[in-house]
Structure formats: structure tokens, C-alpha cells
Structure 1
Amino acid sequence: MTEFRAFHNTDPPQLLKLWHAAGLGRGAAECLSIDAFEVLIFSQPYFDPNGLIVAVEDGEAVGFVLAGFGPNEEESALDYSIGIICAVIVHPNFRRRGIGRELVLRAEEYLKSKGAMNITAGPSGLLSPYLVGLYGGTRPSGFLLSDPLAAPFFESIGYDATRSIRIYQRDLLGPKPPIKFHLVNLRRKMQLMISDDYQAPNWWWLTRLGRLETLHFELVPKTGEGAVASATVIGLDLYIPKWEERVIGLTDVFVKENERSKGYGQSLLLEIARRLQDELITKLEWHVEESNTVASHVALAVGYYQIDTGIVYQLVSR
């Protein structure tokens, strides 16, 4: 008989075994240590043992679900009206017995008991209290299509796909994108500033991305004005055993509103690629909302190609 209970302090070794056994696809870091779970999940200031529900049979963990909440508008605290199911994992030998469905139902009950009015499945963007650095690559972007069981599972238990995120990579060892002369002119007028002392913009950024190695890049006019474009890059060292190469993720890519459509975004991405290529980085990764057609166009224009898709699901009714 399956028992369902809240997280115990003795659970991490078994949860880590479940993570590695689950077959989560290319977007899940593997060969992890318990320390990775400790730093990126259990030591979060808002971690609640009741939000990590474990399925147990004969004293062994056979599955778990991890649920949390999004941030408030100021990104200074949790907003308990926004519930997110971040992970659902069942050992392959115990699937098709209703354990996954029961875990999700119990996670929904937990989220609603805290005040959740809306519940999504698949951490993404700002709505990712957990799994930053562990699932998705650069950042969690829903459940990936390369995670083969996620879509049919959530669709079968009353969730609808509501958002899609395109995951792009660029091979720094492959052919370079064609030279565009208007970008050459921009490059002559700009310089790339790099900082490893980036000041976290808010509490929510610090609790998640602040736990990873980051560098901040700014494209700045040589005439001394403020930055026209910026991005933060994230080290993805936890993925090296899985991907067998060094990949860096780009996030918070931003161009000043009055400077858009002038090529600064493309120029920034090209300059970052040039700089990181010197550091023996083999690939860059960038996640773009499917609705952001401008960013997708920029990615393709500077040599990125789509390798995966993330899907966010919404609970329709229960």
C-alpha cells in the first residue's frame, strides 16, 4: 500500500535516486550530489516540507511532487495566490498505478490550503520557485517536450497547455552567422562591459539565480552614455555530465525601449558569443516565449537554432 506524507529530513538520498531514475530527458541535470538539492531546493528561505509530498512503499520513496508559489509584484515575497507544481516524479517500476495523479491532487490541496487561486504545472520565468539550475537548462521553462511523459500525463489529469517557450542554442564551434555591415558599424561605436559583481535587482532574483555563477554584460556607447542593452549569463556546470560540453545560459536579455529595432540586441548577443568563445565555451542557450516573435527573430538572425520546447499547463477545474 502506498503512503503519502510530507518531506522528512532523511529523504534527500532517496529523492536524488528517484530524480536520476526518472528519465526526465535532455533538460534535467544528472550525476548530481545531495548538495545540489540542498543548495537549490531545501535551503530556499521559503521551502516548506509540506509542499514536497513523498509517496512511500515498504519504507522506500517511489515518487514525489514539489509545489511552491510565485512572487508578489515587487518580487520581495511570495504571492500565495499563485500556485506552481514544479516537479512530479514516479519511479518507472511504480508507474500506471495512479501514484502520480494522487501526488498532484495532494499538491493541489496543499497549494489551495495556502490560498492559491490559480495553479499551473511547470515552473517558468518568474514563476519558478524551484529547479532553477536543475531542470530546463538556462532556466525552468515549463515541462519540456524532450521529457516524454510530461505532456500526456498532465493532459490526462485535467491540465491544458497554455504557454510555450522556445529553447534556442548556438554552437560556438560551428559556422558563424553572416556578417551584417550595419552591425559592424554598431560594434565600432559600442563596447562590451562585463561585471561579476552584479547587484541582484530584488529578493526573488537573489534567492534563485543568485545561487548560481553569473556574469552581467552591458553594451555601452563609447561616448559614455548609459547601456543600451544588457544580459546576464549563467553557468550551467551541473549539466556538463549530461551534455558533455560547456554551455552557458543567457537570461534577462534587455534592450532599452527607445533603442529597439536598431540592431543592438543582435550586436549584444554576437559580442557575448565572441567573448565566451575565448573561454572555451562550446554553446550558448537562450529561452524565448513563443509569443515574443521579435526575440525569436533576433535569435535566428545571430545563429541560434531551436532544440526544444517547454510547455506550461494550467489546471482547468477540479
Structure 2
Amino acid sequence: MIHFRPFRNSDPPALVQLWNLAVPESASARPLRVHELDDHAFNPVIFDREGLIVAERDGRPVGFAHAGFGPDEAAPDRPFQLDTEMGVIAMLAVGPADDRPEITEGLIVEAERYLRRKGAKVLYGGGRLPLNPFYWGLYAGSEASGVPSSHSQFSATLSTLGYEPISTAVHLHFDLGRPDPRDPRAAVLRRQFDVAFEEDPLPSTWWENAALGAFHPMRAELRSRGDEAVVARAWTWDMSWFGREEGRARLGVFGVEVEPEHRRKGYARYLLGEVLRDARERGFQTVEVQTLTENEPALALYEALEFEPVEQSTLFRLPAPFPDRSRP
């Protein structure tokens, strides 16, 4: 008999075992130790024990789902304020021996009930910045975007329950053992701009600080030598928890941005080339980025830099009106 219940303080040892068994290594931090999963996913101030649902058989946890909310972007100066109108099921992990609909689907349904009790009017499966609570830094690549294609248990369960894919992100890697990609404008831009790297800068949002503060974030800026104006920027963080078993230190890149009046001048390509060189000097072996499949300029940029696609993640949404999943 399967029993669903909220999180208990004694659960992390069993939940980390489920994580290491059920969440695919290709797009997650694995293997995790108990204090790592506990500190990063279960201890943040926004954690609500009712939103982490555990499936139990004979008193033994056999799976869990985790649901929550993103930040209230209408109140950016008020930390820890959440937008409870949009809910997300951020995680599903069920051990291989118990991968059956009564558990996987039951966990998703219980997560839906939690979100709706809290006021959610839109339900997502997976997540995307900023609707990515708890697992940025542990799951789905450099931006914790959607459900990775390798996590078929999660995506198949969402699809069975009527969730529809609404967008796809591509994960791309650059192997730092390869030569730097050639940039025909690098020599000219090097005379016009400086690249500044700032370690552990003040975060741009409290959300990013909560997610990545422990992963040594760094900001890279392209600054004009004339007036020190910043024309492009990018953020990086240490993803070395990903791919632990392969032993390759990985750096994540996100928030690549060029000021609107300076776009299409090769500045993003030059800045990212400098990020690759800095990453190699600091001992990293792989750099990861993500972008949406419909973002053709970004895909063209990463192709020019010789990044290679390695994974995709899908964001799901449950169409309204919500189906009736009342308890029997």
C-alpha cells in the first residue's frame, strides 16, 4: 500500500539515495551526499515541507516529488516574496524498482494539489528561470531549465497526466581541451575593450544568490577603454558537482547579454571567447551554456564558438481548465 505524506526532517538520507538512483547523471549533480541535497534543496528559506511529497511503502520512502513557486517579480526589492499564481513541479524521483504509475503519477497529482491549495492558477512541469526553485545548481544544467530528455521518468509521467511541452532548451558544451575558436575581430576588439572578471560579486537578484551563492559565481564584463562603459556581460558558476563520476570540472555560463545599442558587433562572441580562456586557466575542462531552440541568434553564436549540443530540456504546462483529479 502506497502512502503519500509531507517531508520530515529525518527524510534526507533516504531522499538522497533516491536522487542518486533515479535522477540521470548526464544532467544533474551526482552522486550527491546527504548534506549537499539537504542544504541546497531542503534548507532554503522558501522551502515548504508541504510541497515536498514523499511516497512511502511499509514506512520506507520509495519516491518523492517537489513543488514550489518562483519569485514575485512585481516586488523585486522584497526578498523571499513568491508568486503563488504560477506553480511548478520541480522534481520527480522514484527508484527503478518502484517506477510504476500508482507512485509516479500519484506524486505528481499530490504536488498539483499542494500548488492549487496555495493559489496556483497555472501549473508547470520542470522549470525555467526564474520559475526554478530548489534545484538550480543541482539539476538540468547551467540554468536549471525544464526536464532533461534523459530524465524520461519525469517527462513521461507529465505527458501521461496531460502536461504539454511548450518550449525546449538546448544544452551545449565546449571541451576546453580543444583549441580556442578563431575570432576574426578579436585583435581589433582587444584594443578597444577590456574584459573584467569579478569573483563573488553582489548578485543581480536574491533568487540567483539563493540558488548559486555557494557555487562561486563570477561576473564577466566587456568594458570600453574610452569611458569604461559596460557593453556586454555574462555570469559563470562552478558546475563541478555535475559529472563527478567522469571527473571533469565544469563551468556554467548564463545571463549572456549585450546592451541593445551594441548588438550585432561581435561583442558577445569576443566576451565568451575570453570566458573560455579564463575557464581553462582556472582548471576547468568543460563549459556549458543553454539557450532556447527558437533563439536563432544565440544558437548561431554558440555554433560559431564550436559549442556542441549534448542534451535538451523541455518545459511542460498543464492546460486549463485543470482536469479533475479528486481523491477517490
| Alignment pair present for 1:293 and 2:296 | yes
1-structure distance, mates of 2:191, 2:127: 40
| Alignment pair present for 1:305 and 2:308 | yes
| Alignment pair present for 1:127 and 2:135 | no
Distance of aligned partners of 1:242 and 1:142 in 2 relative to their CA distance in 1, 3 Å threshold: farther
| Alignment pair present for 1:87 and 2:91 | yes
Amino acid at match of 2:30: E
Matched with 1:102 is: 106
* 1:273-292 map, 5 Å: 273-292=276-295
Matched with 1:10 is: 10
Per mean C-alpha deviation after superposition, the further-off stretch among 118-127 and 218-227 is: 218-227
* 1:172-187 map, 5 Å: 172-180=176-184, 182-187=185-190
Amino acid at match of 1:22: A
2-structure distance, mates of 1:115, 1:244: 43
Q: Any idea what the Cα deviations from partners look like across 1:90-124, whole Å, max 9, x if unmatched?
A: 11111224211111111101001001000000022
TM-score for both structures, normalised by structure 2: 0.93
Matched with 2:168 is: 164
> 3-state SS of the aligned residue for 1:32?
coil
Distance of aligned partners of 1:243 and 1:312 in 2 relative to their CA distance in 1, 3 Å threshold: farther
2-structure distance, mates of 1:289, 1:160: 17
Deviation at 1:151, TM superposition (A): 2.9
Deviation at 1:200, TM superposition (A): 1.5
2-structure distance, mates of 1:91, 1:169: 29
Structure 1 vs Structure 2: percent identity of aligned residues?
A: 30
| Alignment pair present for 1:253 and 2:236 | no
Deviation at 1:211, TM superposition (A): 3.2
Q: Is the 8 A contact 1:29 1:242 kept in 2?
A: no
Q: Any idea what the Cα deviations from partners look like across 1:193-251, whole Å, max 9, x if unmatched?
A: 11114111222222212232111111111223311111111001212423420110001
Q: Is the 8 A contact 2:125 2:316 kept in 1?
A: yes
1-structure distance, mates of 2:215, 2:176: 22
TM-score for both structures, normalised by structure 1: 0.96
1-structure distance, mates of 2:314, 2:23: 18
Matched with 1:210 is: 213
| Aligned residues between the structures | 317
Matched with 2:326 is: none
Q: Any idea what the Cα deviations from partners look like across 1:236-291, whole Å, max 9, x if unmatched?
A: 12124234201100011111111000000000000111112112211110111222
Q: Any idea what the Cα deviations from partners look like across 1:4-33, whole Å, max 9, x if unmatched?
A: 100000000000011111152400211211
> 3-state SS of the aligned residue for 1:128?
coil
Q: 1:118 aligns with which of 110, 119, 122?
A: 122
Q: Which runs of 5+ in 1 are unaligned?
A: none
Amino acid at match of 1:82: M
Amino acid at match of 1:98: E
Amino acid at match of 1:273: L
> 3-state SS of the aligned residue for 2:241?
helix
Q: Is the 8 A contact 1:176 1:303 kept in 2?
A: no
Q: Is the 8 A contact 1:120 1:312 kept in 2?
A: yes
Matched with 2:52 is: 52
> 3-state SS of the aligned residue for 1:138?
helix
Q: Return structure 1 stretches of 4+ with deviation > 6 angstroms.
A: none
Q: Which runs of 5+ in 2 are unaligned?
A: 324-328
> 3-state SS of the aligned residue for 1:220?
strand
| Alignment pair present for 1:195 and 2:198 | yes
Amino acid at match of 1:90: V
Deviation at 1:126, TM superposition (A): 0.9
Q: Is the 8 A contact 2:29 2:138 kept in 1?
A: yes
2-structure distance, mates of 1:101, 1:216: 41
Amino acid at match of 2:108: V
Q: Is the 8 A contact 2:240 2:248 kept in 1?
A: no
